Amino acid sequence: MEKEYKIKDEDIKNILTWEEADGCIATDRITVDGNKVGYMYREEPSNNTDSGWRFFAGDESDEYVNDANNSNIYKLNTICNYDNDIMEHLTAPVGSAFIRNENGVFVEDNK
């Protein structure tokens, strides 16, 4: 079954200026269900097109996250179209993690 994304390809605007590798992973809770990013972290990139960024709504179970059918690879610009609150944190180094607090603001997750 083909996924039905909240934002159609033709409606994705170019809102991010990015000179580095721009691949990322996001769950369907964001791109299909339309939730805002609730948790994001940056790990070592897995290849030369990977930024290392991983995006979650924050309410996904381990079972959900471990099912590869529930996430996909996107360009950072695409995920910025879903939630442009992430943009100010994208230059954070590998090892960084941010969680949306009760006020809806991203704060560093120091776990």
Please state the domain extents for the chain. 20-95
Write out 32-100 in H/E/C secondary structure: CCCCCCCEEEECCCCCCCEEEEEEECCCCCHHHHHCHHHEEEEEHHHHHHHCHHHHHHCCCCCCCEEEE
- The closest of 65, 111, 88 to 15, measured between CA atoms, is 88
Q: Which residues of the chain carry a pLDDT beneath 70? A: 1, 111
Chain segment 22-33, per-residue pLDDT in tens: 999 999 999 999
Task: Please report which helix (H) or strand (E) contains residue 108, including its range.
Answer: strand 106-108
* pLDDT of the residue at 73: 97
At 79, list the tokens.
């995920």
* pLDDT of the residue at 110: 79
CA distance 34 to 21: 25
